[in-house]
Structure formats: structure tokens, C-alpha cells
Amino acid sequence: MTRHFLRDDDITPSEQQEILDLALEIKANRWAKRPLAGPETVAVIFDKSSTRTRVSFAVGIADLGGQPLIISTANSQLGGKETPSDTARVLERMVAAIVWRTYAQSGLEEMAQGATVPVINALSDDFHPCQLLADLLTILEHKGSLAGLQVVFLGDGGSNMAHSYALAGATAGMHVSIVCPKEFAPATSVITDARAIAEKTGGSLTVTEEPSAALAGADVVVTDTWVSMGKEDEKAERVATFGKYQVDKEKMALAAKDAIFLHCLPADRGFEVAPEVIDGPQSVIWDEAENRVHAQKALMVWLLERV
């Protein structure tokens, strides 16, 4: 049966490991895999802005021998005139896979329901699972392994990135702490799902308002914008609420000496992260951005092998 990648826990711990191993192989040998040779087309649809996701999917699809078809929802029938389900029925007859950046997770679920080609979540309001594959690849490269590492995400605990860290981190057997204001905590269902996974992998998920204890000895420190796409109207309130969660030099000093800093980008320097941290020696953000290509190529190869 066709597999989809809509949330980080759509893959098991061993499948996550397989995809990351494949990403390392593909990174070492760019042209190793050509499942889209023909070229076959992959539709990459955007309801929201993007730089990294757009370019990394376009490059990755071309590297795999295929042709990316980048679609802006504004110039398509999706997003008003046609349902995700009808769109999927049409696209699956023409393309090898559908990649979609959208708002509601339910739209992705509708798109994937019964689709005969893989549907990939390129960011929704709830999850950013492709970013997490790239982040895990980056952490693996810098730390040598994933299971048992202490990862701290500071900021908007209810955001797509925090949710994805909870699920993907638990899948990898990591100890994930989400540090956030009480009113911006992760969704209860995500906490429950992540903890159920962590119980099997030996990882854990902690949600706390206090940065210090969570950061003590941390291996990986992560943040993301306080104002995700679609939340722009709440900017003033968010900036006022999130102030104490900025990743600055003082917070990095609480983490392990060899801790690394990740940010999926785009970044608001001076808000969620101090310039000296994101542009400092512990920051691995450029590796992280590059790894979007390798991780997503591996994901596509893996999904296409299962169609």
C-alpha cells in the first residue's frame, strides 16, 4: 500500500533510521539513486511562502532524475474551488508524488486518503516532518548518534516545529524538552503520542516553562520563529510573551560545552535567538539547511520503493 509522510510518526523508529542511513549514502553520492528517471514529475504545491523547501525539493527531484512542478495555490483550483481529494484523484494520474505545504493538517489527510502516489507534508500548521529528517541528519553528523541525546526546544511549544521535535525526537529515542509559556504548550494529543513512542524507544518528552533545568547539560538547543506563518496578527502578544525564551549566550552556557544550535530558518535575529548564537561557533544552521536536500531525496526514494 502506498505510504505517505504527513507526520513524523508516520514512520517507525527503524524506518526513520533507514531513511537517515539512505540520506547519508545519497549525500556521499549525489547521483546514486534515480527512481524518477524518465523524467517523471513530482508536484510541489505551496499555500504558504518558502525558500528552502521549494529549492530543496526542486533540486532533490531533479537529482533523482525527475522534474519538479512547483504550483502556487493562488494560481491553481486548490484552495477554494476544488477539494484536496479531487485534486489528488487528478494529480495521481499524472505525477509520481505530491508534496504540499499548507495550513490545516486535515487537508493533507484528505489529500492522502486513498491516493495511489505518496503525499508528503512540506509543512502544515501542526507539523514540519521533512525539516525534522534534515535536523536529525544534522544532529547525527555532528554527534555521531541520536538515541539518548538531550534536546531542548525553546519557544512556541504549540508550533509545527515543536510538535515535530516531540514526535521525531521520541521516535529517535531522544530526551526532548519543550520549554514554552503555559499558554503555548504542545497539543495534548501530540504529547500523548510522543510519550507513547518514547516509552518504546527509551526516549522521553518533558514540557516545562523553565529553561534552566531543561538546558542543563543539553546536547542540542533548538528554536524557531515566535510568529509562524498564519499567526502574524498575534505578533505583538507573542513577542511580549516569549521574551524569556530567547536563545542567548547565557542560555547556551547552561548546555553542554559541545552543544550544537539548530534553527530551521527563516530566523528573526534579536527575537527567538541572539545574533551571537545563531552566527556563532555552535550554530549548525547551514548544514541543517543543506540537509533538507539529502533527507528529502532519501524520503522520496524510500516512499517510491513502496508504491
Residues annotated as catalytic (active site), given as ranges: 101, 128, 131, 224, 264, 292
Tell me which of ligand CP, ligand NVA, none is bound by residue 223, counting a contact when its beta carbon lies within the kind-specific cut-off of 5 to 8 angstroms. none
What φ, ψ does residue 20 adopt, rounded to 5°?
-70, -40
Q: Report the distance separating Cα 36 and Cα 97, nearest Å.
A: 10
| Residue among 27 and 52 whose Cβ is closer to ligand CP | 52
Cis before 266? omega within 30: yes
Interactions with ligand NVA, residue window 236-265 (CB under 6 A): 264
Binding site residues, ligand CP, CB under 6 A: 50-53, 123, 131, 264-265
Please name every residue paired with 176 in a beta bridge, in sequence order, or none if there are none.
151, 205
Tell me which of ligand CP, ligand NVA, none is bound by residue 51, counting a contact when its beta carbon lies within the kind-specific cut-off of 5 to 8 angstroms. ligand CP
Cα–Cα nearest to 167, from 4, 16, 3, 294: 16
Indicate which single residue of 99, 132, 161, 221 sits in contact with ligand NVA (rule: CB under 6 A): 161
Cβ 41 vs Cβ 95: under 8 Å: yes
Q: Report the distance separating Cα 42 and Cα 85, nearest Å.
A: 17
Grid cell, residue 157, equals 511549544
Q: Report the distance separating Cα 62 and Cα 51, nearest Å.
A: 17
Indicate which single residue of 225, 246, 283, 296 sits in contact with ligand NVA (rule: CB under 6 A): 225
Residue 116 beta carbon to ligand CP: minimum distance, rounded to whole angstroms:
27
Residue 232 beta carbon to ligand CP: minimum distance, rounded to whole angstroms:
14
Indicate which single residue of 55, 229, 254, 256 sits in contact with ligand NVA (rule: CB under 6 A): 229
Tell me which of ligand NVA, ligand CP, none is bound by residue 22, counting a contact when its beta carbon lies within the kind-specific cut-off of 5 to 8 angstroms. none
Residue 120 beta carbon to ligand CP: minimum distance, rounded to whole angstroms:
13
Grid cell, residue 139, equals 544532529
Residue 161 beta carbon to ligand NVA: minimum distance, rounded to whole angstroms:
5
Q: Which listed range, 77-85, 102-110, 155-163, 198-206, lies at the site for ligand NVA (CB under 6 A)?
A: 155-163
Q: Does 299 interact with ligand NVA (rule: CB under 6 A)?
A: no
How many CB atoms are located within 10 Å of the residue 55 CB? Answer: 15
Q: Report the distance separating Cα 10 and Cα 176, nearest Å.
A: 19
Q: Does 102 interact with ligand NVA (rule: CB under 6 A)?
A: no
x/- string (CB under 6 A) for ligand NVA, residues 36-75? ----------------------------------------
Residue 126 falls in which region: left (phi positive, over 0), alpha (psi -120 to 50) or beta = alpha
Grid cell, residue 180, equals 514554552
Q: Does 224 interact with ligand NVA (rule: CB under 6 A)?
A: yes
Residue 257 burial (10 A CB sphere; 0-12, 13-18, 19+): exposed
Residues in contact with ligand NVA by the rule CB under 6 A: 123, 159-161, 224-225, 228-229, 264
